[in-house]
Structure 1
Amino acid sequence: MKPQKLYMCIVLLLIGLGLALNLRINHHEPNHSKPNIILFTFDALRADHLGIYGYDKNTSPNIDDLAKNSYVFTNSFSQCGSTACSLPSLHTSLFPLEPKSNATTIARFLKSQGYNTIGVIAVRFANSTYVNKDGFDIYDENFTFWENSSVTVNRALSILDQAKQPFFLWVHVRQPHGPYNPRKEIFLEMYPHNDEPTFYSDIPNLDWSGLQEYLLEYYTNKGEIEEKYATMRRFPGLITPTMLAQIIAMYDGNIKEADISFGGFLKYLKSKRLLDNTIIIVSADHGESLGEHNIIDHNNLYYVTLHTPLIVHFPSNEHKVIGYPVMNVDIFPTIISLLNISTNFTLKGKNLFDSNRTDYFQYAEYSNERWTIKYGAYKLIHKNNESMLFNVEEDPAEQHNLLVLNPKQYSNLTNMFIGLHDNLSRDRETTNFNILAKLRALGYI
């Protein structure tokens, strides 16, 4: 064969091989014009039980590994201590009592910018009754009751495997939210004590989710049910220190279960080369009280319930720890800013990376008579006719009410709330939530 013909054959062969390879390239071939955006939220994950936030148990190795190459916000605040009101605020950058039926959501905005929008959830209070799904091309809310994080992640990956870029993916996993049901070996890893462990059947029934579901669907005044529910949520004198240590270990085990699933999620992204062109935001709808104020639950205004993790990962793997105050309502404005797009709709949050954020308050609410505002070290809680003032830097467990000792801070925070409330009042919902009675039955308000 002549050299020219041989050369031509080789060229044609390479071209053909290239075409064949192109046909095999899946939907994940990077599109560098717009980054993919992933919002991964955990249910009831308090920040101080993660390694990256200083916890001494190995609950979160995969989250921690991502955080080492990310921006870590150490002072993040949820807008509500329950999923039903916190997630709608996160997705709209509006406070819980503001109307959201016609509000622009993250998904709706990104869809208008050409994004393929996907939502995969695992808890009832993240479904389309609470979070507007209009902006999602795919919204998978076909979860099993209190399904484990691995199931939710697998559902998300099966959808993502066919997704076109650029995409926005929101995944909300149930764990570490109760029931606290980690595998036995993970529980024992979190409970390295010499005393004989009291396993699940011997611990006062922590799986109150079934009771919540019952009350939600069939609200009743049956005294026995209400008494049981109240006992499980408020337990002064009923749970020993050993039992509480085991309960905390079970919660930590739930974090570890969720973290393992998150690690598998990251492994998939890496295998598909998606990390090269994807922004990942990790957060939680709220935290969890684990014995503080005699509460094992959330649905309250204490710091441990509102202090949530917030991690933002870029393909550049930049790492920085940021301590200024931020809120979950800041996530949406940050996405808009990162895409460098102008908008004309109202957002109550600010860009997380705004350099002028040091003079910034944090706020959460359930109703006009149940709210909290934090500025600097001081946090004011108002519940009906009672107010409490705490220095959460010195007293994160909020055990020492400073209301009488520090009237100046009380006055400052009260005036700050009045200014905020007056600014929002004309937009407020007149009936706090459509399901007011059901939320009251669950102790949310």
Structure 2
Amino acid sequence: YPVARDLELLSEIISRSGYRTAAWTGAGQVTRKAGFAQGFDRFTENLGDIDPWKMNEIRAWFRRNSDEPCFLFIHTYQIHDPYLPPSPYNEIFSSEYQGWVVGDRNKLRMITGGAGFDGLYHAFWRTNDANPDPASVGPDDLRQLVALYDGGIRYTDDVLHGFFEDLRQDGLLDNTLVVVFSDHGEEFLDHGDLLHKMLYRETLHVPLILFWPAGLPRGVEIESLVPLIDLGPTMLDLMGVDTAPHMEGKSLLPLLQDSTVVNNRLVFSEAPWVHRGHHRSLRDGNKTLYDHGTGEVELFSVAEDPFEFEDLSLTHPEAVVDMHRRLLEFITAGGLLRRDLQEEARELGSEEIEALRALGYVD
């Protein structure tokens, strides 16, 4: 389903508020065909892996437009599987390893005969579909996968550091709001699976970093539970722009200004594309309810079991009933919103299907 044309996106709100807008994306789901180009003066889908040379093009755009308000969105699959950070980042967290995981992009290309992303994906995981087999991953293999994943994070961090340092030297960083976030984490057999299929903490607890020397306090770490839908209203609030009525999120500015502010947000998550049921979860800061959509329901205590290993659903049935009632309220409200804003489904092209399959979103 593409983005509904009559749904005003954050980029459109920012654009009509007088900002120049540009986006560089890694394609996949974030494409012009899917509707994500709405509101952008420039929309480029060829970012792929992030590297200093590609960042030069982005930096040049930012410099050219720095004499007026501008909004820049950078989206990358650099850390996404297959975990193939460039040398030497594919080795800095690795010890001696002799298993089947190949973390060298050039070696994989030799194996696949120079195949594109799909070929690299299947060669990396040694599978012909989008679901690697957890049973094939031994302890040493798991350590190597985590090492490669961490290498990708370190590489991306270093590239972004160089980008921001250039902005600082140009005198542009002090009055720039920087927001760094991820759409999901990653599973490394925490609950028996790989990639990002489940709704446990390892998938949903992601970084959210806001930096603005001229407008936000530094060095503040906030433990409160917040959903990513709060990000749009927060950015608009910091920019002095009114939030659109249809936005479900709430500004985090009060929390950013005073981390002791009581935050009673409920966080709803779902994974409707998972073929083992329509997974949904609800978190209130104290408890987590995880409905697998197959009749299996789990309940976790945040304080006593933050990584969600001990299911309390059988010993606390009243809490399950209460959390499930609130979960159904979210589902009902979400269904009404989709009914009002959903664009009609369209047939995907073969290239789009293959791109989504390679990212693990379809089988």
For Structure 1 versus Structure 2, the TM-score category normalised by the shorter chain is 0.7 to 0.9
Task: Tell me the SS of whatever aligns to 1:173.
Answer: coil
Residue type at the aligned position of 1:185: P
Task: Tell me the SS of whatever aligns to 2:264.
Answer: coil
Q: 1:397 to 1:293 in 2, by over 3 A?
A: same
Match for 1:328 among 224, 228, 245?
228
Q: Does 1:360 align with 2:259?
A: no
1:325: Cα distance to partner? 1.3
Q: Give runs of aligned pairs for residues 221-300 of structure 1, distance below 5 A.
A: 228-229=128-129, 232=132, 234-236=133-135, 238-300=136-198
1:267: Cα distance to partner? 1.2
More strand by share: 1
**Does the Cα contact within 8 Å between 2:279 and 2:293 map onto a contact in 1?**
yes
1:117: Cα distance to partner? 0.6
> Please, which runs of 5 or more residues in structure 2 have no aligned partner?
256-260
Measure, in 1, the Cα distance between the counterparts of 2:103 and 2:162.
Answer: 33
148-157 or 331-340: bigger deviation = 148-157
Aligned to 1:67: none
Match for 2:32 among 128, 132, 137?
128
**Does the Cα contact within 8 Å between 2:130 and 2:362 map onto a contact in 1?**
no
1:111: Cα distance to partner? 0.8
More helix by share: 1
What is the aligned-residue RMSD (CA, Å)?
3.4
1:178: Cα distance to partner? 1.7
Q: 1:290 to 1:417 in 2, by over 3 A?
A: same
Aligned to 1:52: none
Measure, in 2, the Cα distance between the counterparts of 1:186 and 1:323.
Answer: 30
Aligned to 2:58: 156
Q: In the TM superposition, what whole-angstrom CA distance separates every residue of 1:268-316 from its partner, at most 9, and x where no partner exists?
A: 1112111121111111111111222232211332211111111111123
**Does the Cα contact within 8 Å between 1:121 and 1:171 map onto a contact in 2?**
yes
Measure, in 2, the Cα distance between the counterparts of 1:422 and 1:211.
Answer: 41
Measure, in 2, the Cα distance between the counterparts of 1:398 and 1:101.
Answer: 39
Aligned to 2:23: 119
**Percent of pairs with identical residues:** 24
Task: Tell me the SS of whatever aligns to 1:342.
Answer: coil
Task: Tell me the SS of whatever aligns to 2:181.
Answer: strand
Measure, in 1, the Cα distance between the counterparts of 2:71 and 2:282.
Answer: 32
Q: In the TM superposition, what whole-angstrom CA distance separates every residue of 1:338-390 from its partner, at most 9, and x where no partner exists?
A: 23333553111000123565211111123393311111232112222222222
Q: 1:153 to 1:409 in 2, by over 3 A?
A: farther
Q: In the TM superposition, what whole-angstrom CA distance separates every residue of 1:396-415 from its partner, at most 9, and x where no partner exists?
A: 44322222122122112111
1:187: Cα distance to partner? 3.2
Measure, in 2, the Cα distance between the counterparts of 1:202 and 1:160.
Answer: 33
Aligned to 2:13: 109
**Does the Cα contact within 8 Å between 2:30 and 2:36 map onto a contact in 1?**
no
What TM-score do the two structures reach when normalised by structure 2? 0.79
Q: 1:260 to 1:199 in 2, by over 3 A?
A: farther
342-351 or 389-398: bigger deviation = 389-398
Q: Does 1:369 align with 2:278?
A: yes
> Please, which runs of 5 or more residues in structure 1 have no aligned partner?
1-84, 89-98, 215-224
Measure, in 1, the Cα distance between the counterparts of 2:347 and 2:198.
Answer: 18
Specify which structure has the bigger relative contact order, considering alpha-carbon pairs within 8 angstroms and separated by 6 or more residues: 1
Measure, in 1, the Cα distance between the counterparts of 2:199 and 2:362.
Answer: 10
Q: How many residues align?
A: 331
Aligned to 2:248: 348
Residue type at the aligned position of 1:373: L
Match for 1:313 among 194, 206, 211?
211
Q: In the TM superposition, what whole-angstrom CA distance separates every residue of 1:165-208 from its partner, at most 9, and x where no partner exists?
A: 210011112221122112343233212x4x445485499x9x99
1:132: Cα distance to partner? 2.3
Aligned to 1:56: none
Measure, in 2, the Cα distance between the counterparts of 1:313 and 1:230.
Answer: 36
Measure, in 1, the Cα distance between the counterparts of 2:176 and 2:325.
Answer: 42
Measure, in 2, the Cα distance between the counterparts of 1:230 and 1:171.
Answer: 26
Aligned to 1:383: 292
Q: 1:345 to 1:228 in 2, by over 3 A?
A: same
Measure, in 2, the Cα distance between the counterparts of 1:263 and 1:402.
Answer: 43
Task: Tell me the SS of whatever aligns to 1:428.
Answer: helix
**Does the Cα contact within 8 Å between 1:325 and 1:362 map onto a contact in 2?**
yes
Measure, in 2, the Cα distance between the counterparts of 1:433 and 1:391.
Answer: 39
Task: Tell me the SS of whatever aligns to 2:271.
Answer: strand
Aligned to 2:315: 405
1:426: Cα distance to partner? 2.2
